[in-house]
Structure 1
């Protein structure tokens, strides 16, 4: 097959302890999957089923870098998240089979232009420019899944310039990882290389040029990056 110009390179993530990389196909995100965060966003977590939005695959960027501060925002927010990396796909995946589709896990940051999101909500418009901008999914090295580490519990934190800003536990998710995979696969066929960002605890807040942001999740490599000052 020939193309009129060379196709873009495949987005990918580093793998902990390996030279090979994890190819990224799509990025799905779960909205308001921690009760405390849902409440701080003015929603009732007891009444809402999970909802999903996406980021483009090329929004992904490795951690450990100094990045340019995003344009077109006066209120850029951090969101610490567990990222699930699928090694095989399927449609209508049963909840009790969902973990067999997971290749690994990583710590990530679902960066959000909150002012653009608020305006989109007010106008009843899509969130694409608030959530899917360049370098909006900073994700750490992928840790290969093991039966001994299903990541159902574990402390998740985020710090800015050494000051803790978010703290939660994976057990506080409203919808568990298997439930999320099963429900999402009812909407779309999932495939190897798909990422699922599983939601963020309470405490989201703003980042500024020059800030250093670090996400930690028990059992996973830390994920840190800085913004150019």
Structure 2
């Protein structure tokens, strides 16, 4: 507990991947509000609609691993989406190769390691993601093997942050499309994990309270 408090007070160096997206912007804004220094990576940094003395916007595309350059002492948090198959596995490989201190990755509840505990209802995800699910699983597995934490979130909304809790797979609820969680709540949970690691090398589930 003390380590997390000290990190939060003193500030950490965080790198946000896909920082111009909706989840990436939430991660970036909340990290700055917590007093951290942020390197925000996006294909078009001009789309990162935030300004702050502790914010550094840099171009980067996971399709070009050489463009993903991170400090070895940084914690990388990914808000990367799934607009095409291959994006997530490319991103995971690029980030791991860059050698950050830790990785905190955003995944989807009901895929890969969480599919079994989610139950039969998770089969509906194939209607939404189709051939992108294997890409999600490959990316998650790579991050987990590297000692990172993968957050398996349910249906994301753009609602304001609300009370939330983070659990492991042993406390995972059955999959339910109506069990929504806001991006702001997920971003807060991911930042909590950056400040005070609870699930290294494991799946974590950010839930609305």
Is the structural similarity TM-score above 0.5? no
Structure (1/2) with the larger strand percentage? 1
Q: Which has the larger radius of gyration?
A: 1
TM-score range, shorter chain: under 0.3
The TM-score with structure 1 as length reference comes to 0.26
Greater percentage in helix: 2
**Per chain length, whose mean CA-contact separation is higher, i.e. which structure has more relative contact order (CA < 8 Å, sep 6+)?**
1
